[in-house]
Amino acid sequence: MKKVLAVNSGSSSFKYKLFSLDNEEVIASGMADRVGLPGSVFTMTLADGSQHDEENDIATQEEAVQKLLNWLKEYNVIDSLDDIAGVGHRVVAGGEEFTDSTIITKDNLWKIYNISDYASLHNPAEADGIYAFMKVLPNVPEVAVFDTSFHQTLDPVQYLYSVPYKYYEKFRARKYGAHGTSARYVSRRTADLLNKPVEDLKMVICHLGSGASVTAIKDGKSFDTSMGFSPVAGITMSTRSGDVDPSLLQFIMKKGDIGSFNEVIKMLNTESGLLGLSGVSPDMRDIEKAIKNGDQQAKLTKDVFINRIVRYIGAYMTEMGGLDVLVFTAGIGEHDASVRKQIMDGLTWLGLKYDEDANKANREGKITTPDSKIDAMIVPTNEELMIARDVVRLAKLDK
């Protein structure tokens, strides 16, 4: 039985899921962590629920890939390397170079390295991960799946910034968005659940996790999205600020005696959002515990989080000329009923009526009443499955 690997690489780690080509079931998943660092950990969970882990130094990504393949054989997940029909890799930034997922060649791999300016923390590590798999599995097709490619359907009205046009012409400085692989999967899954063509739905997807974004889907395509040139823009996130007036940053640098803009960017990415506002935690669950204990700053933090989401939903409804379905996905979106309730409370004036019990159940499907003018739904994301499907499509494994 042929199988497809979906991989998400970091600078010293990679997460993986192995799918059966026949039924799209996950038959093994896990990660290699702290690769090249002391205390490396390798984990694997099998379809029967059994778990395996080992703490033993792993010097390189290539060594980690080899360990993965050895474990797949050791635990009888594969009979031989020939069972692996393809490998798909999440890549954050494709720039304007990649408007779709692509089969990786040496030229394409260098292109991923060369557009690292668009995602300097991500693209080099992801390209390194692809190279490691190419060395260990030289005869297996490797596919790159870009978070930005789904948003290449944005009109220039949506993606251009109001700065001198020469910077777009020279450097392709524009909005690229992120979470595109998630939005692509969730939009199609939502349409399937509603038994309607995705092209007939005006949809807003709230991808609310550690990273968070709001995406408008119209005619089955990305119409607008809250993340910008980088993932720091848009709504409030766990540690990212979301939208900020650039002049405020200049003011903070001067008043705070901050020496470099790189320090400010780090602050916006790692010290802001829920963590920076609350002083409690980047985790919404901790924020909500603090609220129950009477922490007013935590309450304000959650209110800001909700406000920014509702603001974007309202803007996108206006841009699209209406809304058929509001979708919640990712960690907070799928599991936090109180966040969903507060967001939907801001939309009841439009005729959205939610079902309290359905909302609290945290299950896939509608959470609105039959007479609601706008559907609201929980739809769990599955980026890894989308990656695996792209491998099948591009490597023509279904032939």
Q: Is residue 211 marked as binding?
A: yes
Q: Which of 128, 147, 324, 390 is an active site residue?
A: 147
Q: Is residue 209 marked as binding?
A: yes
C-alpha–C-alpha distance, residues 177 and 240, integer Å: 15
To which residue do tokens 């799918």 refer?
A: 19
Q: Is residue 172 marked as binding?
A: no
Q: Is residue 331 marked as binding?
A: yes
Q: Are 77 and 18 in contact (CB under 8 A)?
A: yes
Q: Which helix (H) or strand (E) holds 308?
A: helix 296-320
Q: Is residue 58 marked as binding?
A: no
Q: Is residue 359 marked as binding?
A: no
Q: Is residue 207 marked as binding?
A: yes
Strand order in the sheet with 203-208: 221-225, 212-218, 203-208, 325-329, 375-378, 365-366
Q: Is residue 208 marked as binding?
A: yes
Question: What is the full DSSP assignment across 47-84?
Answer: TTS-EEEEE----SHHHHHHHHHHHHHHTTS-SSGGGE
What sign does the CA torsion over 160, 232, 199, 104 have? positive
C-alpha–C-alpha distance, residues 122 and 116, integer Å: 8
The encoded tokens of residue 37 equal: 């660092």
| 147 tagged catalytic | yes
Q: Is residue 162 marked as binding?
A: no
* Closest CA relative to residue 285, chosen from 210, 370, 185, 386: 210
Q: Is residue 344 marked as binding?
A: no
Q: Is residue 210 marked as binding?
A: yes
Strand order in the sheet with 51-55: 51-55, 41-46, 26-33, 14-20, 3-9, 84-91, 142-146, 102-103
| Number of residues that this document lists for the chain | 399
Q: Is residue 265 marked as binding?
A: no
Q: Which helix (H) or strand (E) holds 32?
A: strand 26-33
To which residue do tokens 């990273």 refer?
A: 211
Q: Is residue 324 marked as binding?
A: no
Q: Is residue 335 marked as binding?
A: yes
Q: Is residue 108 marked as binding?
A: no
Dihedral angle, C-alpha 380, 381, 387, 389, nearest 10 °: 40
The encoded tokens of residue 29 equal: 């998943």
Q: What residues act catalytically?
A: 147
Annotated binding site for Mg(2+): 8, 383
Annotated binding site for substrate: 90
Annotated binding site: 8, 15, 90, 207-211, 283-285, 331-335, 383
Annotated binding site for ATP: 15, 207-211, 283-285, 331-335
